[in-house]
């Protein structure tokens, strides 16, 4: 009986160890910090994507309440889409935007009539978001205290959800703005990173201040983006 009991105990222990190893293997993968850095590397190589940005509340340094645009960085940075801007306490206005030759053109002043807005900082600088040094890649690389919060599907793509914090300066750069150093703060950020390689950033949520939020989603990585410079009212 002692022999048989020993065999049973050994068998049970081996089975438990096997199950434990199997479970560990299934849950194994890069930790949050590693995945964030892998995503930052992947986003530096992104040359085009479809971008959707939505903002709620009075977000500092951001007039945009909604943006949908296709943006490409090679051979030169171009983009086109539609934007909705906060024009007053309870008023918004939608317009088309086109970025080419280093300039943003929009018909926000008069529908159908485009005006040259320089880099576009007064509306939204489309050239920043995929910039390897100033855009999403930088925001990911500088994300602090990343922690895995589980996994979700983003538009059918399995993603790892990671929470962390960012400097308001790093976040502001995504809108083409830069806060004064004395106003720099830390804000909560949540990102969803594609589980498969390349680990693209699929979604990000930022809370610039209580009662506000900015959500950014990306898709159609590598899509072809063709932009035609519009006729403008000012040179």
* 192 domain residue, yes or no: yes
Instruction: Give the model's pLDDT for residue 235.
Output: 54
Asked, for residue 227, whether it belongs to a domain, the answer is: no
- Look up tokens 């909604």; give the residue: 66
Task: Assess if residue 230 is contained within a domain.
Answer: no
Report the C-alpha gap between 222 and 40 in whole angstroms: 16
| Amino acid 182: pLDDT | 63
With beta carbons less than 8 A apart as the criterion, state whether 50 and 203 touch.
Answer: no
Beta-carbon count within 10 A of 178 CB: 13
β-pairing verdict for 213-219 and 92-100: unpaired
Residue listed under structure tokens 């090679």 = 74
pLDDT at 10: 41
Please check whether residue 51 lies inside any domain of the structure.
yes
Give residues with Cβ within 8 angstroms of 176, minimum separation 6: 119, 120, 121, 124, 125, 127, 128
The domain containing residue 36 runs over which residues?
A: 32-219
The domain that contains 207 carries what CATH number? 2.50.20.20
DSSP state of 178: -
Torsion angle in degrees (nearest 10) through CA of 218, 219, 224, 225: -40
CA-closest candidate to residue 170, choices 196, 117, 134: 134
Task: Establish if 126 belongs to a structural domain.
Answer: yes
**Distance (Å, rounded) from C-alpha 194 to C-alpha 197?**
7
Question: What count of other Cβ atoms lies within 10 Å of the Cβ of residue 157?
Answer: 15
Enter the tokens of residue 21: 């190893």
Contacts 24+ apart (CB under 8 A), 111-120: 113/233, 114/230, 114/231, 114/232, 114/233, 115/232, 115/233, 115/234, 116/232, 116/234, 116/235, 119/176, 120/176
Is residue 162 included in any domain, yes or no?
yes
CA distances from 94 to 67, 107, 128, 164, 188 (A): 9, 9, 21, 32, 29
Residue by residue, pLDDT tens for the chain (235 residues) are 444 434 333 433 433 343 344 333 334 457 999 999 999 999 999 999 999 999 988 887 788 899 999 999 998 999 999 999 988 777 889 999 999 999 999 999 899 999 999 988 888 889 889 999 889 999 999 999 999 999 999 999 999 999 999 988 887 776 656 655 667 788 999 999 999 999 999 999 998 888 888 999 999 999 999 999 999 876 5
Is residue 26 included in any domain, yes or no?
Answer: no
Total number of domains constituting the chain: 1
Domain membership flag for residue 19: no
Q: CB-hemisphere CA count at 13 Å for 196?
A: 5
């Amino acid at each position: 009986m002692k022999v048989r009991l020993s065999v049973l105990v050994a068998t049970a222990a081996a089975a438990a160890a096997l199950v434990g190893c199997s479970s560990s293997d299934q849950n194994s993968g890069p930790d949050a910090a590693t995945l964030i850095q892998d995503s930052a590397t992947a986003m530096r190589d992104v040359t085009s994507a479809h971008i959707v940005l939505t903002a709620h509340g009075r977000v500092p340094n951001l007039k945009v309440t909604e943006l949908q645009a296709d943006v490409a960085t090679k051979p030169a940075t171009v983009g086109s889409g539609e934007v909705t801007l906060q024009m007053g306490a309870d008023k918004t206005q939608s317009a088309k935007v086109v970025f080419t030759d280093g300039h943003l053109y929009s018909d926000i002043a008069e529908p159908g009539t485009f005006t040259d807005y320089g880099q576009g900082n007064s509306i939204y600088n489309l050239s920043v978001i995929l910039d390897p040094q100033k855009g999403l890649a930088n925001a990911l690389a500088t994300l602090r205290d990343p922690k895995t919060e589980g996994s979700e599907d983003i538009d059918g793509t399995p993603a790892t959800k990671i929470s962390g914090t960012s400097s308001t300066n790093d976040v502001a750069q995504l809108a083409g703005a830069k806060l004064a150093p004395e106003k720099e703060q830390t804000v909560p950020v949540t990102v969803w990173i594609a589980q498969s390689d390349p680990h693209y950033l699929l979604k990000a949520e930022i809370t610039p201040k209580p009662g506000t939020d900015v959500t950014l989603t990306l898709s159609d990585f590598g899509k072809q983006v063709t932009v035609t410079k519009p006729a403008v009212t000012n040179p």
